[in-house]
């Protein structure tokens, strides 16, 4: 069973993906970490975001096993990830890695921006997780504050809106809801309610396909 979860920044898709992976005993890949890793490397090496070939080489040489999720959650890295994700050479270099992960025996859970539309369009379960920009900004602001980041709420909201515009407007694999993806708007839901809603979606799809046990 492949579970594909897409959605904008700070929508909670990663949290849901991790919980679903544990619940069903499936491997999980946060594809956003791949782009964060490329963006982080570009920042560290002072590579311009318009140097598509250099960014593509970074993506091609990425060591997934060496990714450090905590180190890749810093604010500047998130902005860098959104920018490199719009580079076709980067997306092409990471495409097969993500598809191979999705197609491993038994299935997997992947979350990102183009899982249901590009990476795993044949996924049995597709969920598009979203929330209003204001709600997502509040979540990200609290996350940053908990780590000692001094960014203001207004700065976080502006960043969320910039990333939404860039992710949805890019020419290569834009953020869009797949026609057959179930919409989960968790603007008014707490974490447990959002989890229960996602679990219900997956169980409904399993019954529909006859894979429920």
Nearest to 34 by CA among 66, 1, 74, 75: 66
Q: Is 18 part of any domain?
A: yes
Lowest-pLDDT range, 34-48, 68-82, 166-180?
A: 68-82
Question: Look-up: residue for tokens 């940053």?
Answer: 144
Residues 6+ apart with CB under 8 A from 101: 27, 29, 108, 110
Q: Answer whether residue 52 shows pLDDT above 80.
A: yes
Q: How much is the average pLDDT of 43-57?
A: 97
Range of the domain at 152: 2-207
How many domains is the chain built from? 1
Q: Is 48 part of any domain?
A: yes
Q: Is 212 part of any domain?
A: no
CATH number of the domain that residue 149 is part of: 3.40.50.300
Q: Is 70 part of any domain?
A: yes
Q: Is 150 part of any domain?
A: yes
Give the integer Cα–Cα distance in Å for 3 and 26. 9
pTM for this prediction: 0.89
């Amino acid at each position: 069973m492949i579970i594909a979860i897409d959605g904008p920044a700070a929508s909670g898709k990663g949290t849901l993906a991790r919980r679903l992976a544990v619940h069903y005993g499936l491997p999980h890949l946060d594809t956003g970490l791949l782009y964060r890793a490329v963006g982080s490397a570009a920042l560290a090496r002072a590579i311009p975001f318009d140097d598509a070939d250099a960014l593509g080489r970074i993506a091609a040489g990425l060591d997934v096993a060496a990714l450090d999720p905590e180190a890749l959650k810093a604010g500047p890295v998130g902005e860098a990830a959104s920018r490199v994700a719009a580079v076709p050479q980067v997306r092409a270099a990471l495409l097969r890695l993500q598809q191979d992960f999705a197609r491993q025996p038994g299935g997997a859970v992947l979350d990102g921006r183009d899982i249901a539309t590009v990476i795993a369009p044949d996924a049995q379960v597709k969920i598009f997780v979203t929330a209003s920009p204001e709600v997502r900004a509040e979540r990200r602001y609290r996350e940053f504050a908990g780590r000692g980041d001094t960014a203001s709420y207004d700065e976080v909201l502006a960043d969320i809106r910039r990333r939404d515009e860039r992710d949805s407007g890019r020419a290569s694999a834009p953020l869009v809801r797949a026609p057959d993806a179930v919409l989960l708007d968790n603007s008014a839901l707490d974490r447990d309610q959002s989890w229960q809603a996602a679990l219900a979606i997956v169980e409904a799809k399993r019954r529909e396909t006859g894979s429920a046990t």
